[in-house]
Amino acid sequence: MNEQEVTPEILGVLRSMDLFKGKDPDELTEWLGKAPFEGGAECVLRQYASGDRITTEGSFGNTFFVLTHGTVSVTLGPEAQRLATLGQGSFFGEMTLISGLPRNATVAALEPCQVIEIPRRAFEPWMKKPGPFRNTMDQTYIERGLGNHLRTIPDFADLDTGIVRELVKQVRLRIFSKDEVIVREGDDADSFYLIREGYVRVVKAMTGGEQRTVAYLKDGSYFGETALLSAKRRNATIIAMGKVEVIQVMKEDFFALVNRDRKFADHMAQEEQRRLAEKSSGQASPLGFIGEALERGLVKATSALVIHRDMCTRCGNCVKACAELHDGISRLTRHGMLFEAPVPQTLTILEPLLVTTSCMHCLDPECMIGCPTGAITRDVNGEVIIQESCIGCGNCARRCPYGNISMADVRSQEELAKQRTGAPIIGGYLKFWKTPENEPMMHEIETNNQKAVVRRVAVKCDLCQDYNYNHGCVHNCPYGAIERMDAGAYLHEVRGVG
Amino acid sequence: MNAARSVAPGARVSTSGIRPKRAERAWQVFAVVSVAGLSWWYFSAHQQPSANGYHRLVLGLGWIGTSLALAAAALSIRKRLAYQGVGRMSAWLRAHIYLGIIAAFAIFYHSGFRAGGPLLAWLLVFFSLTVVSGLMGWWLARNLPPLLTDIEETPALLEDLLAARAQCLQGMFELASGGSADFRALVEQHLMKETASWGRMFRFYRRRSMLAQELPGFQKEQAVALARLRPQEHRGFQRAAEYALRVNKMNAELLLQRVLRGWLTFHIVSTGTMFGLAAVHIFTALYY
């Protein structure tokens, strides 16, 4: 947005919102209007006609929206079930920025609308600082997230809207990182938990003190009700297997809910009976491959590159194709996680797989957090891509938990020419003249006694987006031994989790 | 990694290699129907011989066989247009295999299984070599990768294996050069032989075993040699023995990978020669 677009009316709307409470007009104008290389956000003012879609359920996004004029509808599902109508001074689309998940509702204009589209790099700095922006975002996230989330859980779907609204005010959203203990076996039970996002491991102490994983639970599952209802201590330890978001309902609020809603109480009692019966029969959730896939983070992959080792003749066509398509630097290395995975449909046959060190386009990509120029982003199909604005800081490579992003020196004649344009001696060769375009990513290297100016950038699998077909490696495998796999869908096919 | 074996009771590891996919099934049906059609044409023409019908059969089968063989050979063009978006390599390979099989029947029927003059005899020989080497490649591609999977520690390409093997050999030499004369002699005469031992290499294939499974036994076998060394050299010798076994195992993998790549040279050479002879044959047939 340029300064002319930031009108007093827009500033008035923004300042009336809880989100921007306490921000003075100059600060807001600067935030909305600064160019990206000056640390600005590159916010965009957009106009929509009546009926236009602003966001689509299921698509991925890197922006959230502030409605400065008009009204919009928020709908869910193929029947377009109306969830809410938002008016001037509302905001939407923040859920996808916080969770990294696809948009969970469709927003369409009900009349001509004006919105400000705000990208992740403007959102993140303000979310890091305590203040009204972060508080409002967190509260809205809980309210909207919990409301939608409860509708997806069969046991909670029939809860009265009034009760849900009340419940939302009482609960706490808690975020745990990998290996953090959520509840510990033997502790007093003080709350009930709903998993909003992520996977947890249920661990029990066996006779002899051995800690054994007995089940995995995924989002939509809940735990902690057994100890509350039977007034006993926790009978298992629950450990986060990655970033996990849970909704914590305190003991008193849980009992208030049980006492108010008979149906819900019955559900809980049945669930407790079922778990007790399962415990006495010695059954546990399936572990094996699924457990291993969860432990090693494969389950987060939406597009893992998998080699069927029994079909691969080791011809190397995949690596050659990748290097050929990406300036001689292959983004695919034939190393990675080895699995023996069940073949769908049969389940009794295992096949050896290699999940290569290649971008898995995670559901909640940690690499995208904190990119200073917003160069790493995801497109509407959910593919994580690194754009030209990468300055080679290496932040994404450090953050990727799977080591699937590497830093590479890319030689480019175009960059070389750009660097040496204008001031061939002072600017180009001695590097006194620094501009955002050519510093700090350009540097000189010497290989085989030849000097070359290279650009250090982050590289990763980009699914061969610039070509008229996808995935050079998959395309050029003569035996069809390499493929892209949605790990979540695959695991669902071979056996459900939790 | 092998925890996954507990997925289901009685689960077994697939050794089937390439499993037929739907597209492959379609090609299989097409090939069977085509071969059946060609066979019916060939045998019915032989049952009711007439000069005109026989001439049509020979000419027709010749043209069909040549066209199919050329279509199958288009795979080499696909390899040169790898990045032009001209379809999946696996689809082209399937077409290559099944068109090649149909072409083989058409051309053998066209020949009437008779050699004729020297040109035709050589043509038939090279055509047979092309078919046999192709079928051999197909068989190798289905059966060697599972064996390779079973014995390799980490999946590596031939180039990576060569580099790793060179490092192991270098490690062995460095150990040898740092020890006494006895130690050096023992490593060079005793362990170096083990790196190239075919018997040990085939044991890897037979047992489908990993390095860790073979190493304790191998080190036990070296006990006699070990006794000839000073105690402070025992550890170095054991390390050198590990290198030797590792090199031998890499040789086992390299042999499979070389076979997987090597047959192609044979196939390409015989195909090229076959096409050259076929061009002469077609020219002479048309001209005379």
Segments making up each domain of chain B, as ranges: 22-113, 123-288
Same domain flag for A217 and A324 = no
Task: State the CB neighbour count (10 A cutoff) for residue A400.
Answer: 22
What are A194's strand-pairing partners? Answer: A222, A247
Residue A425 is assigned to a structural domain of this protein: no
Complete edge-to-edge strand list for the sheet that includes strand A450-459: A406-411, A450-459, A442-447
Distance CA A477, CA B169 (A): 33
Check residue B13 and give its pLDDT: 42
Tokens of A50: 């009546």
Mean pLDDT for chain A overall = 76
Distance CA A275, CA A211 (A): 20
Report the run of H or E that residue A264 belongs to, with start and end: helix A262-280
Residue A411 is assigned to a structural domain of this protein: no
Distance (Å) from the alpha carbon of B76 to chain A's nearest alpha carbon? 12
CB of A406 within 8 Å of any CB in chain B? Answer: no
Chain A residue with minimal CA distance to B262?
A315
CB pairs under 8 A between A and B: 133
Distance (Å) from the alpha carbon of B10 to chain A's nearest alpha carbon? 7
Q: How far apart are the first and last CA of chain A?
A: 47
Same domain flag for A467 and A328 = yes
Of the candidates A287, A310, A314, the beta carbon closest to that of B146 is on A310
Largest CA distance in chain A: 82
Tokens of A329: 């630097």
Q: Which residues of chain A have pLDDT under 70?
A: 34-41, 100, 147-159, 161, 272, 275-290, 300, 344-348, 411-453, 466-470, 492-498
Distance (Å) from the alpha carbon of B278 to chain A's nearest alpha carbon? 27
Domain end marker among A285, A303, A332:
A285
Strand A482-485 vs strand A63-69: parallel, antiparallel, or unpaired? unpaired
Q: Check: CB of residue A70 under 8 Å from CB of residue A112.
A: yes
Check residue A419 and give its pLDDT: 47
Distance (Å) from the alpha carbon of A475 to chain B's nearest alpha carbon? 5
Angle (CA) A487 A489 A494, round 5°: 90
Of the candidates A339, A472, A481, the beta carbon closest to that of B4 is on A339
CB burial class (10 A; 0-12, 13-18, 19+) of residue A235? middle
Same domain flag for A301 and A280 = no
Chain A residue with minimal CA distance to B254?
A314
Of the candidates A313, A321, A475, the beta carbon closest to that of B145 is on A313
Distance (Å) from the alpha carbon of A412 to chain B's nearest alpha carbon? 21
Residue A479 is assigned to a structural domain of this protein: yes
Residue A236 is assigned to a structural domain of this protein: yes
A283 interaction partners in chain B (CB closer than 8 Å): none
Categorise residue A208: left if φ over 0, alpha if ψ from -120 to 50, beta otherwise: left
Is the CB of A334 less than 8 angstroms away from the CB of B156? yes
- Among A387, A370, A388, smallest CA distance to A378 is for A387
Length of chain A equals 498
- Among A392, A396, A393, smallest CA distance to A369 is for A396
Tokens of B264: 């192609």
Same domain flag for A273 and A333 = no
CB burial class (10 A; 0-12, 13-18, 19+) of residue B275? middle
Give me the domain span that covers residue A60: 8-127
Distance CA B277, CA B124 (A): 9
CB of A319 within 8 Å of any CB in chain B? Answer: yes
Same domain flag for A61 and A101 = yes
Residue A431 is assigned to a structural domain of this protein: no
CB of A480 within 8 Å of any CB in chain B? Answer: yes
Distance CA B101, CA A403 (A): 45
Check residue B66 and give its pLDDT: 92
Q: Which of residues 255-314 of A touch B (CB under 8 A)?
A: 286-292, 307, 309-314
A480 interaction partners in chain B (CB closer than 8 Å): 18, 21, 88, 90
Is the CB of B4 less than 8 angstroms away from the CB of A289? yes
Write phi, then psi, for A312 (nearest 5 degrees).
Answer: -85, 125
Is the CB of A468 less than 8 angstroms away from the CB of B85? yes
Distance CA B85, CA A205 (A): 56
Same domain flag for A323 and A264 = no
Check residue B35 and give its pLDDT: 94
Is the CB of B11 less than 8 angstroms away from the CB of A348? yes
B141 interaction partners in chain A (CB closer than 8 Å): 313, 479
Q: Where does A410-453 have alpha helices with state H?
A: 413-420
Distance (Å) from the alpha carbon of B100 to chain A's nearest alpha carbon? 16
| Residue A460 CB partners (closer than 8 Å, separation 6+) | A331, A358, A359, A384, A386, A400, A404, A405, A406
Is the CB of B155 less than 8 angstroms away from the CB of A348? no
Chain A residue with minimal CA distance to B15?
A310
Angle (CA) A285 A288 A294, round 5°: 85
CB of A476 within 8 Å of any CB in chain B? Answer: yes
Distance CA A439, CA A443 (A): 8
Residue with tokens 């896939």: A293
Check residue A438 and give its pLDDT: 44
Same domain flag for A332 and A251 = no
Q: What are the Cα distances from residue A418, in Å, to A375, A440, A454?
A: 20, 14, 12
Report how many domains make up chain A.
3
Distance (Å) from the alpha carbon of A320 to chain B's nearest alpha carbon? 10
Chain centre distance of CA A453: 36
B85 interaction partners in chain A (CB closer than 8 Å): 467-469
Same domain flag for A264 and A313 = no
- pLDDT digit of tens for each residue in chain B (288 aa)? 232 323 333 344 443 333 446 778 889 999 999 999 999 988 888 777 666 767 788 888 999 999 999 999 988 888 777 666 678 888 899 999 999 999 999 999 998 888 778 898 999 999 999 999 999 999 999 999 999 988 887 788 888 889 989 998 888 888 888 878 888 888 887 788 888 888 888 888 888 877 777 777 777 777 777 777 777 778 888 888 888 888 988 999 999 999 998 899 999 999 999 999 999 999 988 887
Same domain flag for A264 and A307 = no
Is the CB of A287 less than 8 angstroms away from the CB of B90? no
Of the candidates B13, B92, B260, the beta carbon closest to that of A313 is on B260
Same domain flag for A277 and A334 = no
- Among A298, A303, A293, smallest CA distance to A361 is for A303
Distance (Å) from the alpha carbon of A376 to chain B's nearest alpha carbon? 26
Check residue A445 and give its pLDDT: 61
ipTM of this complex > 0.95?
no
| DSSP-assigned letter for residue B188 | I
Of the candidates B13, B18, B82, the beta carbon closest to that of A350 is on B13
Is the CB of A291 less than 8 angstroms away from the CB of B3? yes
Check residue B258 and give its pLDDT: 92
CB of A332 within 8 Å of any CB in chain B? Answer: no
B267 interaction partners in chain A (CB closer than 8 Å): none
Distance (Å) from the alpha carbon of B17 to chain A's nearest alpha carbon? 5
Check residue A370 and give its pLDDT: 75
Q: Which of A214, A299, A313, A473 to mutate to test the interface with B (most CBs of B within 10 A)?
A: A313
Of the candidates A350, A469, A480, the beta carbon closest to that of B4 is on A350
Q: Check: CB of residue B274 under 8 Å from CB of residue B130.
A: yes
B12 interaction partners in chain A (CB closer than 8 Å): 348-350
Distance CA A164, CA A157 (A): 10
Rounded-to-10 torsion of CA B102, B106, B107, B112: 140
Domain end marker among A285, A316, A334:
A285
Where residue A69 sits, what CATH number does that domain have?
Answer: 2.60.120.10
Same domain flag for A78 and A176 = no
Domain end marker among A251, A285, A319:
A285
Distance (Å) from the alpha carbon of A216 to chain B's nearest alpha carbon? 14
CB of A345 within 8 Å of any CB in chain B? Answer: no
CB of A315 within 8 Å of any CB in chain B? Answer: yes
Q: What is the pTM of this model?
A: 0.66
Interface residues from chain B to A (CB-CB < 8 Å):
1-8, 10-19, 21, 82-83, 85, 88-90, 92-93, 140-141, 144-146, 148-149, 154-160, 257, 260-261
